[in-house]
Structure 1
């Protein structure tokens, strides 16, 4: 299970074109590389899945040169097709390409059902804000959003309780920091606190339906299920300011240790042509 929050930016976000914060929840033993520039294209940054047979896939990546980013969330509780294709390349192909989300989804629809169920979130960073899009191969509908949004492992019209509560807290953080003209460091600290929020949001009938045997432990924004050796193992925060400066922070849990590795990458967005 994973969760992400995003704000499309502008004056209501303190001048940031994009505010993005997400958690990746995964089994602790699954190998992955921390966020870095990709070997095949150094203008793309993000973590990489290194599980055997799925090397190179990603759950989240950004391309400052193409002014875009994308993230993938799976949809547990929905039937998976036999011999389903790996979902890792879905984000990779988008950030490495130049298609709009509409073009990408249009070319992707016929093949979409061959993958396990997923939610895809894409962001195009514009001159004064960002365009946030959502597509699921479960209902095959492309949606666009403005302002503050949150997505997790369910359909937008059936949000998990933690998604609803997290969005309310995220929106408060964004608006209050804009009103008080908080520093970038203060904003990042508050967003990280949201990503580490371990309150259980119960009852949650939608989550219970999707994960009947583990819904309690999955009901927090920050997931920690020691018995299953599963939980939140990566925090990501991305900010794009009014001068096209992109900051990418990633905190990755070090396997077998109660420590987190911080990676901070800085890039300048390419000017729109």
Structure 2
């Protein structure tokens, strides 16, 4: 997943709002989100190649999402799949803090990642790129954006998305309104990219919030919010390589 916008306790009525795009090669086999047969309390999509997931929730109010950390200088395969970072948390019983503290010892077994974990009250962030203060941290209430660099790196698509999410908080969330915050298909200008040290053709392709390309692009948009009663409202919309919707899964989890 390559773009996650989220509001953590920025609203008393909606403690968590999320809009996210998963960008991946279209050839990579994927199962749309559903409750997992072996873990009926987990609602998530599944990467059928490595078995993990990019984002999911659970019946005990867990939330997990991961993005890769893009570093063109480090492209060697890692021993373990980043998708297990989320799936192990969703199917386990550790607190976000305990899980991340334990993960620190094996974080280098994975290619570069950003990881978000929640338990219905607190939300934690950790990257094995040792950004910021270098370790797991609980997030203060606020609006955040995460792509393929450190949390809140002001890439154009992140900055635009955070502004849109801020405006959305003025009213009640809907899946349609949340999806709009990550739907922009316009590419950033070379000037906008150079300010963040991004210059190549691939950087240009990836600069859109919603990527349309026959080989690699936005495969799914997931929208989620938690209301004051604790219910989670979830929708995942899948997309064809043309950028056209190809299916949707919508659930409400108590």
Instruction: Calculate the TM-score normalised by the size of structure 1.
Output: 0.83
Q: Aligned pair 1:110/2:100, yes or no? A: no
Give structure 1 stretches of 5+ with no counterpart. Answer: 269-273
Q: Superposed, which structure 2 residues align to 1:89-104 within 5 Å?
A: 89-104=84-99
2:244 paired residue number:
258
Match of 1:235 among 208, 212, 221: 221
Q: How far apart, CA to CA, are the structure 2 residues paired with 1:157 and 1:167?
A: 9
How far apart are 1:49 and its partner, in Å?
0.3
Q: How far apart, CA to CA, are the structure 1 residues paired with 2:75 and 2:92?
A: 27
CA contact (8 A) 2:212 2:241 kept: no
Q: Aligned pair 1:208/2:208, yes or no? A: no
1:46 paired residue number:
44
1:188 paired residue number:
175
Superposition RMSD in Å: 2.0
Q: How far apart, CA to CA, are the structure 2 residues paired with 1:14 and 1:157?
A: 23
Q: How far apart, CA to CA, are the structure 2 residues paired with 1:258 and 1:168?
A: 25
CA contact (8 A) 2:152 2:158 kept: no
CA contact (8 A) 1:160 1:207 kept: no
CA contact (8 A) 1:44 1:95 kept: yes
2:138 paired residue number:
144
Q: How far apart, CA to CA, are the structure 1 residues paired with 2:76 and 2:244?
A: 37
CA contact (8 A) 1:3 1:150 kept: yes
Residue deviations 1:131-162 (CA, integer Å, cap 9, x gap): 22110011042222212111110013633221
Q: How far apart, CA to CA, are the structure 1 residues paired with 2:245 and 2:7?
A: 29
Aligned residues, how many? Answer: 246
Match of 2:165 among 162, 166, 170: 170
2:210 paired residue number:
222
How far apart are 1:256 and its partner, in Å?
7.4
2:35 paired residue number:
37
Instruction: Calculate the TM-score normalised by the size of structure 2.
Output: 0.89
Q: How far apart, CA to CA, are the structure 1 residues paired with 2:180 and 2:152?
A: 26
**SS in structure 2 opposite 1:94?**
helix
Q: Aligned pair 1:132/2:123, yes or no? A: yes
* C-alpha distance 144-22 of structure 1, shift in aligned 2 (>3 A): same
2:232 paired residue number:
246
